[in-house]
Each structure stands twice: as C-alpha cells, then as structure tokens.
Structure 1
Amino acid sequence: MARVVWHVPVTTSGTGSTTALRLFRLRDGRRCAVGFSSPEALAALLGPGQAHTEIAEPALRDLTAPLGVDTLVLDPRLVAPPVGSPAVPPAPAPAAQLQHR
C-alpha cells in the first residue's frame, strides 16, 4: 500500500527552533486541522510563503486528538467564516433648517 502524505501548514518561531501545527476553525467555530494533497494546493490557498510539513493522516490525528481536535479537512477550498452582506447604514435624517429672525 502506498503511503499517503498530507502537506500540513505550520508556523515556525522567529528563531526557527520551534515548529507548530496551524489549526483552523470550521464555520460552526470548532477547531480543525487541514492538509493538502500537494504543496501546490497548499500554496494556492494559503500563499507560496506558507511553511508546511509532510505528515501521514494517522499521525496528524494522533497530534491533534490531545488538543480536542477531531476533524481533519483535506484540500479545503475556503477556510474562513461565512461572509455576510455588508450592513447598510440608515440614511441620515434631513437636517432641521434654522430660521433667522
């Protein structure tokens, strides 16, 4: 059986000594981990500068389970909260006209 590798976004400390898995949120607010089937898919969504590591899906589950994260998303197309229509401010009331005497 071929080994399936996920390309998972990470963050690296300023000194480069620490690497941490990036977690995201689903639309309902729950945390999730995301992975991509290729580095190109990751760069297309998160940008070419996004650091990543390769990891197998079972290992990703093992890393996220202690954090209470039980949802993994492969090749997400959008990782963002739903976008609502912009609020339209009410029209200003007509200014009262002053009468000079």
Structure 2
Amino acid sequence: MTELLGADDPEPSDRSPAGPLFVPVRPGQAGCAARIFRTPLGDRTAVGFTSASALAAVLGTGQHWIRLAEPALRALTAPLGVTLVTVDPVFSAPAPQPLPSWDPEAALAPAEGTVR
C-alpha cells in the first residue's frame, strides 16, 4: 500500500498493524488482565510496546506483560469500550509516592526567624 502524500488528503493513510506487541497486564487469580491507560486528554487506551526494553523504560522492570498482536489487543479491549491503541508511549506519570506524615503541632508552630 502506498501512502498518499497529497496536500488535499484530509487524513493520513492507515498504518499497517504494529504486529506482536508487549502488552502490560495485571496478574490475578483468574489469569491476566490487560492494563488500560488514559491519554493526556483522558481517553481510555490500550497500550502496547514494540520491545520489552521499551515497556520497561516506561513502566519499570517489574511490569508483567504478554505478547499480543494488535488486532487481538483491539478485540480484547473492544468489549470494554476501548477503541484506541497506543503503541510505544514515551511519557508516563511517575508512580505515586506515600505522603509524609503530617504533624499538626509542627504545622501550627511559627517558622524559624518569624516574629510572633
């Protein structure tokens, strides 16, 4: 398939399927479930990576994964209403860190160098 390069083409040509992807999953008692993510605009998306190292770079080395072809990933997530598949995302929010313990007495104490 050749890609249309004309300026009057309103949308780019469809890309071919990405092939076997490394899909992040959550292991559970009944098996694995594909993780669903959100785009920066809040849309739900399935995610796949073209290599295990790309997956580990974004989600960490402890992330479980399975290999799925893009059409299989789409078929798996379509019943959930997820129609978007993102391949090789590079940005991810950092993992949440535990909040420091809050001491109400310290919060009410005047800061150093202030006059009361």
Q: Give TM-score, length-normalised by structure 2.
A: 0.62
Q: Deviations over 1:32-88 (max 9, x none)?
A: 0110000010001100110000000000010111111011000000134xxxxxxxx
Consecutive aligned runs of 4 or more in structure 1 exceeding 4 Å deviation:
none
Aligned residues: 80
For the 8 Å contact 1:8–1:35, the answer to whether it is kept is yes
Percent identity for Structure 1 against Structure 2: 49
Q: Give TM-score, length-normalised by structure 1.
A: 0.71
Q: Which residue pairs with 2:76 in the alignment?
A: 63
More RCO (CA 8 Å, sep 6+): 1
Q: Deviations over 1:8-46 (max 9, x none)?
A: 000112x5x421100000111111011000001000110
Aligned-CA RMSD value: 2.2
Task: Report the secondary structure of 2:77's partner residue.
Answer: helix
Q: Which runs of 5+ in 1 are unaligned?
A: 81-96
Q: Which runs of 5+ in 2 are unaligned?
A: 1-17, 94-115
Task: Report the secondary structure of 1:45's partner residue.
Answer: helix
Counterpart residue identity of residue 48, structure 2: G
